[in-house]
């Protein structure tokens, strides 16, 4: 039995975090569960959806290794050359190493486990539509569809082939049913189209509620940046269209977010203050809540992690990354997202640092960004053929990062290189750079010194998937 389908035997335990207390639902396998207990009211659907959000914040998924941890190591962002470092083999793209293999297998199994839970919800939501009040049917179904697309797309980005080498190559299953039936691997273009189909349906459903809230009287509608909301769905469509090579639709979706008027770039006063917002949270289209962010940061990004665990890089690397010799020292991402400890001159990436916030009773934002407002500018800039517009879009981000504007006479190749440099700076600790290299089929991963290839860019699916899935 495959890891993906073994996970279907048991639904996740569902955590309700809405009021500070925890409530657990022990959900039996679908064969035995009394469906009327699980889906007897609207709250049951909210609980199930909340359970998925909790599950994808797991350290195997967006909470750590599929963002700031292993995936960022694969992007060449950290010095893991020490042979005893926990990510040493992963950093050398030795995917058969036991530690690397375990992390890869966990991502596959837990990703498909979350998809199984979404499919169970989606299999029941239409027949219980009468239970919902206000716009909650649209919101719950729309978010579930959006999450299903997000998870499949990121599984494809990890385990599928390099898109520029052919979208007709078999990749992963796109699972839309809650069942034990083994699904065949689909060509990449079919998986991408299935993602976009789910997202189109989600976007239509979520048009009923496009607000971005923090706290509201209705707890379910609070902290909507931690939900797969309308704008997150739209931004994900832009990302997928770009990955697919559909520049027209990538541009249209990115511009829809840019022109929507819902997001603002972080102001320098919010990151230079005594209680800084190092996550630039006003720019999040979607982020996952990370309850143990302080522990994860301490275990990866501080001197206390020890040389065999810490993720940072040499000063020369950091200075080159932020182009210090070419005027980059004013970049907010350089000035405020790196910290030193004690007498050590070593800099540590501090995007998830909470020490000063907690010590001063500041607003400790525990989130891991998955989709950002700035990315929409990069996508639109890459997708447009108008060089003046490319320059303007990039300059709008650069100015809000404390950098001087680019000259207006740059060539298309020079502007594409500026986009690449922005990906390196903007998504440090977020795991997006590896996927940029893969999408572009880059011949070199800058921070690693290793040449890009399919062997590097395609993570191996778990062995039992190969054994049981012959599609």
Angle at 70 between CA 276 and CA 173, to 5 degrees: 115
Q: Give, in order, the Cα–Cα distances in Å from 371 to each of 14, 182, 268, 284, 327.
A: 24, 31, 21, 6, 28
Prediction pTM value: 0.92
Angle at 283 between CA 15 and CA 159, to 5 degrees: 65
Q: What is the domain range of residue 18?
A: 3-468
Q: What pLDDT was estimated at residue 214? A: 78
Name the 3-class secondary structure at 407. coil
How many whole angstroms separate alpha carbon 448 and alpha carbon 442? 13
Q: What pLDDT was estimated at residue 24? A: 23
How many whole angstroms separate alpha carbon 382 and alpha carbon 72? 22
State how many domains the chain has.
Answer: 1
Residues in the chain with pLDDT values less than 70 = 1-36, 217, 361-362, 466-471
Q: What pLDDT was estimated at residue 354? A: 92
Tokens 């599928």 belong to which residue? 160
Q: What pLDDT was estimated at residue 471? A: 52
Q: What pLDDT was estimated at residue 391? A: 98
Burial zone of 298 (CB within 10 Å; 0-12 exposed, 13-18 middle, 19+ buried): middle
Q: For residue 447, what is the domain's CATH number?
A: 1.25.40.390
* End-to-end Cα, the chain, rounded Å: 15
Q: What pLDDT was estimated at residue 73? A: 98
- Token code pair at residue 93: 């793209």
> Where do the DSSP E strands lie in 375-467?
444-445, 450-451
Q: How is residue 469 annotated by DSSP?
A: -
Q: Give, in order, the Cα–Cα distances in Å from 398 to each of 92, 272, 324.
A: 32, 17, 15
Nearest C-alpha neighbor of 67 from the set 412, 408, 371, 454: 371
How many whole angstroms separate alpha carbon 332 and alpha carbon 334? 5
How many whole angstroms separate alpha carbon 394 and alpha carbon 191? 31
């Amino acid at each position: 039995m495959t890891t993906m389908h073994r996970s279907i035997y048991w639904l996740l335990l569902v955590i309700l975090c809405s009021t500070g207390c925890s409530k657990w639902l022990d959900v039996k396998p679908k064969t035995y569960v009394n469906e009327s207990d699980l889906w007897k009211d609207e709250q049951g659907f909210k609980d199930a959806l909340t359970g998925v959000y909790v599950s994808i914040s797991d350290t195997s998924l967006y909470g750590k290794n599929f963002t700031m941890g292993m995936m960022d190591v694969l992007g060449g962002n950290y010095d893991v050359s020490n042979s005893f470092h926990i990510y040493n083999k992963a950093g050398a793209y030795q995917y058969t190493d036991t530690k690397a293999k375990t992390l890869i297998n966990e991502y596959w199994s837990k990703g498909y486990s979350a998809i199984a839970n979404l499919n169970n919800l989606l299999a029941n939501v239409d027949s219980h539509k009468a239970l919902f009040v206000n716009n909650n049917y649209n919101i719950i179904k729309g978010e579930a569809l959006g999450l299903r697309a997000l998870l499949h797309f990121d599984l494809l980005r990890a385990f599928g082939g390099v898109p520029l080498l052919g979208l007709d190559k078999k990749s992963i299953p796109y699972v839309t049913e809650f069942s034990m039936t083994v699904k065949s691997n689909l060509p990449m273009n079919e998986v991408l189209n299935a993602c976009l189909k789910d997202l189109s349906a989600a976007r239509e459903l979520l048009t009923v509620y496009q607000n971005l809230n923090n706290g509201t009287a209705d707890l379910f509608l609070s902290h909507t940046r931690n939900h797969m909301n309308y704008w997150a769905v739209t931004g994900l469509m832009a990302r997928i269209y770009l990955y697919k090579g559909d520049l027209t639709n990538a541009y249209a979706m990115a511009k829809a977010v840019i022109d929507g008027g819902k997001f603002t770039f972080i102001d320098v006063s919010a990151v230079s203050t005594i209680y800084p917002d190092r996550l630039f949270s006003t720019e999040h289209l979607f982020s996952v809540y990370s309850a143990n962010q302080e522990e994860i940061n301490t275990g990866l990004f501080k001197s206390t992690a020890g040389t065999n665990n810490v993720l940072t890089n040499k000063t020369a690397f950091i200075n080159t990354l932020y182009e210090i010799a070419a005027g980059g020292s004013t970049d907010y991402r350089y000035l405020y997202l790196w910290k030193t400890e004690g007498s050590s001159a070593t800099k540590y990436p501090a995007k998830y640092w909470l020490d000063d916030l907690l010590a001063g009773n500041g607003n400790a934002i525990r989130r891991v960004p998955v989709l950002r407002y700035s990315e929409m500018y990069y996508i639109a800039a890459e997708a447009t053929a108008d060089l003046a517009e490319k320059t303007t879009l990039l300059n709008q981000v650069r100015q809000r990062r404390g950098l001087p504007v680019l000259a207006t006479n740059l060539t298309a190749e020079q502007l594409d290189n500026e986009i690449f440099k922005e990906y390196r700076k903007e998504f440090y600790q977020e795991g997006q750079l590896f996927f940029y290299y893969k999408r572009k089929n880059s011949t070199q991963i800058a921070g690693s010194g290793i040449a890009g290839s399919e062997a590097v860019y395609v993570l191996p699916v778990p062995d039992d998937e190969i054994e049981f899935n012959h599609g």
